Structure 1
Amino acid sequence: MATKRPGGAPTLTEQARRAQLMTTTIELVADKGYAGASLGAIAAAAGITKAAVLYHFPSKDLLVHAAYEQVLAALTGAVAAAVEAADAADGPAAYVRAMIGHLRDHPRHTRMIVEAMSRGGADYAPEVRWGPLARIIDGAAEARGAENVDSRTLAIVVGGAIDSIVSERLHDPDYDTERAAERLAELVESALTP
């Protein structure tokens, strides 16, 4: 087995292997749960030895955490891009559509997030979840001239609605999340209409 370069950045080959291992981990955790994604199962799915997995990630927990962080980065990147592309007044609706759309289009990412949260691996202060949306709501309220908008409560309610819509899709693949996202966006719009 190759050795890591002391103090150096990972080689392109190492970066590619780490990416492969994270993708494989996301797939296994989504399909079989945390318990079903053993280091041996991850290694077998990646076509390498368990020792090779441990070369890149010293433990299963660190590998799963890295995969979870990759999923979150993809989600937040997609949502941020949609919000940035929208006018401030339309930011909350863009957030709702992008969040639900991304999770609909990446069901394994959704299951990875659910699994991490159910294991306590998604430990964060609640404001980390509702804070960004509350700031987007504040910007929309200002752009629309809407006063007395309780952005914190609205962000918490919208976040819960998004969770419920995404959860319903996991249980019923035929559930129309695009339509649900539009209805939720309309509700948010009405709350921001002066």
Structure 2
Amino acid sequence: MSTKTSGKSFIEKARRAQIMQTTIEAICDLGYAQASIGQIAKRAGVSKGVITYHFPSKDELMQKIVEELYLKGASFMSEIATESTAANMLRRYIETNLEFILAHKNHVAAVAEIVMNFRDEEGRLIYHKPADNSIYVPIIEILHWGQEDGSFRPILPSSAQVLAMTIRSAIDLASQQLVANPDFNIQEYAKELIQLFEAATGKPPI
């Protein structure tokens, strides 16, 4: 009895993973609006009923894809906290974000599509909230720490916000480039980005 239960659980998990991966590929190829349950089922080689058995609605499927990426990202980024200086932490923040994007480029691109298109019943975007600056908080904290440990030049709070927004935007742009341009060299991009922001945050020579 326990073997059957375990087997069923394993099969269901594998099927859910397959559906989610197929959905990610459909969104990347067709865009959010055209990635319907029917299209996903066709690509997965199953009936629409199989999709809705595991994910009762497209909304729930989209939510799970977003949640899975955030969980993967949190695990991937945990090593940043081990750095001993703010300068090293900023470098690792940029490197690790870009490494994660490279390792999950289709998933990242699909989530970007979901964020910009997934709406509630009243037509409001669920994930894209322009006034929410929480994504910049970790970078701002690194910048503040860098002034305390002497790694960085003095940075005003308003300037820290600008730097954080610029760093985050430069990182997010990489995912678009990876999908659109097969020749995009993300390692070289990371190297140049690190040099750019080290110059922007470092102390001027005496």
Scaled to the shorter chain, the TM-score interval is 0.7 to 0.9
The unaligned stretches of length 5 or more in structure 2 are: 118-124
Q: Deviation digits for residues 128-176 of structure 1, max 9, x if unmatched?
A: 2211222233233333353532432211111122233433333322122
The corresponding residue for 1:111 is: 109
Contact 2:85 2:149 in 1 (8 A): yes
The corresponding residue for 2:145 is: 139
| Structure-2 change in CA distance of 1:118 and 1:76 (3 Å) | same
Contact 1:133 1:155 in 2 (8 A): yes
The corresponding residue for 1:74 is: 72
Contact 2:65 2:111 in 1 (8 A): no
Equivalent of 2:193 in 179, 184, 192? 184
The corresponding residue for 1:166 is: 175
1:136 counterpart letter in structure 2 = I
Q: Deviation digits for residues 91-121 of structure 1, max 9, x if unmatched?
A: 1111111112221332212321221233145
The corresponding residue for 2:128 is: 123
- Once residues 185 and 139 of structure 1 are traced to their aligned partners in structure 2, the CA distance between those partners, rounded to angstroms, is 18
Structure 1 position 86 matched with structure 2 position 83: yes
Distance apart, 1:86 and its partner CA: 3.0
TM-score (norm 1): 0.80
- Once residues 145 and 16 of structure 1 are traced to their aligned partners in structure 2, the CA distance between those partners, rounded to angstroms, is 47
Structure 1 position 60 matched with structure 2 position 58: yes
Contact 2:116 2:128 in 1 (8 A): no
Q: Which is further off, 10-19 or 166-175?
A: 10-19
| Structure-2 change in CA distance of 1:34 and 1:60 (3 Å) | same
The unaligned stretches of length 5 or more in structure 1 are: none
- Once residues 14 and 112 of structure 1 are traced to their aligned partners in structure 2, the CA distance between those partners, rounded to angstroms, is 23
- Once residues 174 and 194 of structure 2 are traced to their aligned partners in structure 1, the CA distance between those partners, rounded to angstroms, is 12
Distance apart, 1:82 and its partner CA: 3.9
2:140 counterpart letter in structure 1 = A
Distance apart, 1:22 and its partner CA: 1.6
- Once residues 147 and 199 of structure 2 are traced to their aligned partners in structure 1, the CA distance between those partners, rounded to angstroms, is 11
SS at match of 2:142: helix
SS at match of 1:122: coil
2:195 counterpart letter in structure 1 = E
TM-score (norm 2): 0.76
2:181 counterpart letter in structure 1 = D
Contact 2:109 2:175 in 1 (8 A): no
- Once residues 145 and 174 of structure 1 are traced to their aligned partners in structure 2, the CA distance between those partners, rounded to angstroms, is 35
The corresponding residue for 1:101 is: 99
Identity of aligned residues (%): 29
Distance apart, 1:37 and its partner CA: 1.9
